[in-house]
Structure 1
Amino acid sequence: MMKSNYLHLKNGTAKCKLCQKIIKTSGNSTNMSSHIKNKHYDTFVKCMQKKVSMKFRENQTIEQSFRNIEALKDNGQKANEIYEAIVFMICRDNMPVRCVEKEGLTHLLKKCVPQFKMPGRSKITTMIEEKYSKSVDAVKKILSEVEDVAFTCDAVTITNSSRSFLTITAHFINKECLESICLMAARMDQISDDENSDDQ
């Protein structure tokens, strides 16, 4: 990398392309490297970055390359990790399942992970349902090991939305820590003016 910044001359010398200074090579590149480091530090840093990058690429074997490709195929380890991340994003940020078909997210993943195939809406829906079942089983296990549980009922409005929910939350002590789990959320419909609020 350093040698690309020099014109090689006769009698063990080289000319720096950046400042035209003649450097004695003495049969090796030590003086050339020192000159670039001391006089052209920005170029030295770029050369070192390229060197590390090339070394990293050289160290990756053919077997590892094939393994990485396999990991991004359907049901591959890396693909499953990305699926899980998409499910988490949808659930955590309260996003519609159809977001996986949006151009922006598809474009982002294509740039970041070119070999990854974006799952369809039905696959993500199935994964969310499976995640829900696992979460229910986990909550049941936690509550089965707790002696006392207190319940609260709250009205909650989603941030940046007009949707409101009636929630039931369980509060309990687990390993000397106070924990809370939302057990259920039911959508509350807005009461119209002509309806009897007492009946509601």
Structure 2
Amino acid sequence: MKRSKLWSYFKKEGDGNVICTICNKRVKTSGNTSNLASHMKHKHPEDCDVDDKSLDKSQRKLTECGGTSSSLSRSGVSVNLQTSDESAKPPETSVDTVEASCSSAVVVFPTTKPATPNTSANTPKIKQAFENVYQYSKGGAKYDRITDAIAYFIAVDNRPFYAVEGKGFQHLIKELAPLYKVPCRETTKAKIDKKYDTLSKFVADKLKNVDYFSLTTDIWTETLTNTGYLGLTVHFLQQNELQSVTIGVFELEESHTGEYIGQQLTGILRSWNIDTEKVMAFVTDSGANMVKAIRETFGAHKHIPCFAQKNLSHKKNFRTE
């Protein structure tokens, strides 16, 4: 077997150790030349002419680790292999200890810190989401606008209050405003009553500045319950433009006599602060009770029969003849 050149720098002792002939330091061999080569490499590098081929596998592994920090670059990632400070002194350890030292090397990746979620950028989105929920909740601006629009739809189109609970209407609102919850019929009715109170005050203030009025009135009977209703509309000029306002449709609880109708009309005008002296004309159909109510309450000179009703009456008489 070929003898390693390392033995020319050491002499054996009986206890398994060797003595360096250069510095007289005792080195433990453990049956191989790994510690001998390490001693020469670190303590007497200028006197060592041992090439890498004379080192065994474990010693080359230690040499590759170097006992110090080395840096590798792979795919743009810096890898540092760090071992303990034992590399500063001769490794008086066995092969097993050397392998353990290399395998325990710490791998450090000093790369850029991983990107963290930009919470400041996400905050406005979260805030906006909560703001949208609030806007469509009761008391929010969008909730009030949609509810007002529904009340307007019911009033202007003469729709029943239960229309808001219809399947088709609910589906329509869900498609237009998914976050909006349609109020029930009772809530809608209360909303319209509140709107009426607000608008009636506005109209009453407007009528205060009117000098003269003409009025039209008629009675309508609901056939299902045989209930009569009296409607009254006022007409006036404002800035040379004709204005018409229906100030109410009121249920008649008694027989439709001329006297009772006259009392109801007087009470309605009083509730709106309309002076009867400002009434210039009262247009009604030609029914005997209506004619009597106007002539006895407001004066015969203020009553004007409805031209359409009068014309229709003449046509009926002509056909009868």
- Structure 2 Cα separation of the partners of residues 186 and 86 of structure 1: 24
Paired residues for 1:102-141 under 5 Å = 102-141=166-205
Matched letter for residue 152 of structure 1: T
Shift in Å at residue 155 of structure 1? 5.5
Rounded to whole Å, the distance in 1 between the matches of 2:204 and 2:289 is 35
How far off is 1:177 after superposition?
A: 1.2
Q: TM-score, normalised by structure 1?
A: 0.56
Q: Which residue of 2 aligns with 1:152?
A: 216
1:169 is aligned to 233
In structure 2, the residue matched to 1:94 is 158
Cα deviation, residue 153, structure 1: 1.9
**For residues 154 and 201 of structure 2, what CA distance do their matches in structure 1 show?**
21
Partner of 1:71: 135
Letter aligned with residue 147 of structure 1: D
> Structure 1 residue aligned with 2:147, among 74, 78, 83?
83
C-alpha distance in 2 between matches for 1:78 and 1:199 = 50
1:150 deviation in Å? 1.5
Identity of aligned residues (%): 29
Deviations 1:142-165 (A, max 9, x none): 10111111112246799xxxx985
Partner of 2:46: none
Please, which runs of 5 or more residues in structure 1 have no aligned partner? 1-60, 189-196
Code of the residue aligned with 2:159 in structure 1: it is M
Q: TM-score by structure 2 length?
A: 0.36
2:22 is aligned to none
Partner Cα distance (1:198, 1:153) in 2: 14
Partner Cα separation in structure 2 for residue 141 and residue 157 of structure 1:
31
- The Cα of 1:175 is off from its aligned counterpart by 2.0
Which range moved further: 174-183 or 148-157?
A: 148-157
How far off is 1:169 after superposition?
A: 1.2
Gaps of 5+ in 2: 1-123, 253-286, 291-321
Residue-pair matches, total? 131
The separation in 2 between residues aligned to 1:199 and 1:142, in whole angstroms, is 31
Deviations 1:45-99 (A, max 9, x none): xxxxxxxxxxxxxxxx523333222110111100110100110111111111111
Rounded to whole Å, the distance in 2 between the matches of 1:108 and 1:199 is: 47
How do 1:22-61 residues align onto structure 2 when only pairs under 5 Å count? 61=124
User: Structure 2: how far apart are the matches of 1:199 and 1:177?
Assistant: 33
- The answer on 1:182 being equivalent to 2:246 is yes
